[in-house]
C-alpha cells in the first residue's frame, strides 16, 4: 500500500493498527477530531502524518482522504451516538470516492448479526439485528458492500467481538481492570456465567493490515475472534487473581439497568444489548485463519497480564485498605 489513512485513529483499534503499519514501513495518516490526542498517540512514529478532521464535515473528510490509497475506518462511537454510524460512513464514502481512494476497510462489531442461531457464528450467518444499534451497524456495513458492488470503491468488513487491552477504555472489559487495581467490586451487565468472547486489542492490528493488503479479501466480510470462549466470571476472576486478590463482582440485570438508566444515558443504552450476554455471539473465524494462514491470538492470561502492566503506568491506584 502506498499510503493509508486511519479514520478514527485515536481509538483503541486505530492505536493497534498504527504500530503494525509503522513496523512494516507503510506511511499512514492519523485522522481524528483532536490534534492533541493524535500528536500524543502518533507524533513519535516516523511514518505517521497527523491530520485533524471532523468526519461529519464532507469537506474535511475529503481533505483527509486526499492522496490516500486505503482507508481503515475504525471510528468508535459511544452508545448514545450510535445513530451516527451510517451518516459518518456516507460522508466517508462520498469523500473517498471523490478523492480517488481505491480501498476501504470497515472495522465493525457482532451487532449486525442479531441474536445468534448457532453456537458459533460464521460470516454467512443471517444479519437480522433486532436492536437499534445493530440496525445502525448493519446499515453502515451495507453502505460499504453496496459501494463495492457498484465498483465505486473496493471494500471489506472486519467484525470483532468485545475487546480489551491498551486504550480500550470504552469496552465492557477494561472497567474490570480498573476496579481490580483499586481493590473495588467489578460490575458486569447481565448474567456473568454465560459463555462470552473477548479479543486482545493488539492482536487486531496485524489482522486488519493483512486483510487490507490482500486484493482477494475485498468484497467480503471477515470474523476475527478471540482465543476461545470464556465466561465473565472466569475473566473477572483471572484479572483479580493476577493481582493476588479474591474476585469481587456484581451483575446488573435488565430491571436494575433500566432504573440506573434514568440517571446515566450509557447504562440506559445497555439494556437493549443485554441479549449479547444472554444469548452470546461467539465468532467462527475459520475462514480468516485459513485465508491468512494463521492468526496470533493472545491467551487470556497473557492479555490480562499485559493490560494490567499498561494500566499501572497510567493509573494512580489508591493504597489497598488494611
Q: What is the pLDDT of residues 6-47, one digit of tens each?
A: 999 999 999 999 999 999 999 999 999 999 999 999 999 999
**Above 80 in pLDDT, residue 263?**
no
Q: What is the pLDDT of residues 193-236, one digit of tens each?
A: 999 999 999 999 999 999 999 999 999 999 999 999 999 999 99
Mean pLDDT, rounded, of the chain? 93
- Residue 322: pLDDT band with limits 50, 70, 90: very low
Q: What is the pLDDT of residues 184-204, one digit of tens each?
A: 999 898 899 999 999 999 999
Rounded to whole angstroms, the Cα distance separating 299 from 287 reads 20
Beta bridge partners of 186: 249
**Above 60 in pLDDT, residue 317?**
no
SS (H, E, C) the chain: CCCEEEECCCCHHHHHHHHHHHHCCCCEEEEECCHHHHHHHHCCCCCEEEEECCCCCHHHHHHHHCCCCEEEECCCCCHHHCCHHHHHHHHHHHHHHHHCCCEEEEEEECHHHCCCCCCCECCCCCCCCCCHHHHHHHHHHHHHHHHHHCCCCEEEEEEECEEECCCCCCCCCHHHHHHHHCCCCEEEECCCCCEECEEEHHHHHHHHHHHHHCHHHCCCEEECCCCCCEEHHHHHHHHHHHCCCCCCEEEECHHHHHHHCCCCHHHHHHHHHCHHHHCCCCECCHHHHHHHCCCCCCCHHHHHHHHHHHHHCCCCCCCCCC
Sign, Cα dihedral of 113, 118, 119, 124: negative
**Above 50 in pLDDT, residue 82?**
yes
- pLDDT (0 to 100) of residue 320: 40
* All domains in the chain, ordered by first residue: 4-164+198-223 (3.40.50.720)
- pLDDT (0 to 100) of residue 131: 95
Region 252-259: what's the mean pLDDT? 72
- pLDDT (0 to 100) of residue 134: 96
- Residue 315: pLDDT band with limits 50, 70, 90: low
- pLDDT (0 to 100) of residue 318: 43
**Above 90 in pLDDT, residue 116?**
yes
**Above 80 in pLDDT, residue 255?**
no
- pLDDT (0 to 100) of residue 319: 40
- Which residue bears the cell 502492566? 309
Amino acid at each position: 500500500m502506498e499510503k493509508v489513512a486511519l479514520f478514527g485513529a485515536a481509538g483503541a483499534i486505530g492505536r493497534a493498527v498504527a504500530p503494525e503499519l509503522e513496523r512494516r514501513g507503510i506511511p499512514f495518516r492519523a485522522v481524528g477530531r483532536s490534534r492533541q490526542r493524535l500528536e500524543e498517540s502518533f507524533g513519535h512514529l516516523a511514518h505517521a502524518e497527523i491530520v485533524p478532521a471532523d468526519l461529519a464535515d464532507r469537506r474535511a473528510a475529503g481533505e483527509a482522504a486526499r492522496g490516500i490509497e486505503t482507508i481503515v475506518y475504525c471510528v468508535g462511537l459511544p452508545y448514545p451516538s450510535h445513530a451516527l454510524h451510517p451518516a459518518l460512513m456516507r460522508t466517508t464514502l462520498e469523500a473517498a470516492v471523490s478523492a480517488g481512494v481505491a480501498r476501504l476497510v470497515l472495522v465493525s462489531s457482532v451487532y449486525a448479526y442479531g441474536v445468534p442461531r448457532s453456537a458459533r457464528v460464521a460470516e454467512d450467518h443471517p444479519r437480522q439485528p433486532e436492536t437499534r444499534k445493530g440496525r445502525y451497524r448493519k446499515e453502515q456495513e451495507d453502505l460499504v458492500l453496496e459501494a463495492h458492488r457498484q465498483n465505486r470503491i473496493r471494500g471489506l468488513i472486519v467484525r470483532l467481538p468485545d475487546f480489551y487491552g491498551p486504550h480500550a477504555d470504552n469496552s465492557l472489559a477494561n472497567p474490570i481492570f480498573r476496579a481490580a487495581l483499586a481493590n473495588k467490586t467489578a460490575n458486569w451487565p447481565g448474567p456473568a456465567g454465560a459463555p462470552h468472547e473477548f479479543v486482545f486489542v493488539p492482536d487486531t492490528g496485524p489482522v486488519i493490515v493483512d486483510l487490507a493488503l490482500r486484493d482477494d479479501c475485498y468484497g467480503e466480510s471477515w470474523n476475527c475472534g478471540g482465543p476461545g470462549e470464556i465466561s465473565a466470571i472466569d475473566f473477572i476472576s483471572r484479572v483479580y487473581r493476577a493481582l493476588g486478590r479474591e474476585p469481587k463482582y456484581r451483575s446488573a440485570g435488565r430491571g436494575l439497568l433500566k432504573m440506573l438508566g434514568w440517571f446515566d444515558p450509557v447504562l440506559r443504552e445497555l439494556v437493549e444489548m443485554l441479549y449479547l450476554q444472554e444469548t452470546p455471539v461467539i465468532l467462527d473465524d475459520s475462514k480468516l485463519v485459513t485465508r491468512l494462514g494463521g492468526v496470533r491470538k493472545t491467551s487470556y492470561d497473557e492479555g490480562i497480564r499485559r493490560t494490567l502492566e499498561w494500566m499501572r503506568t497510567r493509573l494512580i491506584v489508591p493504597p489497598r485498605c488494611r
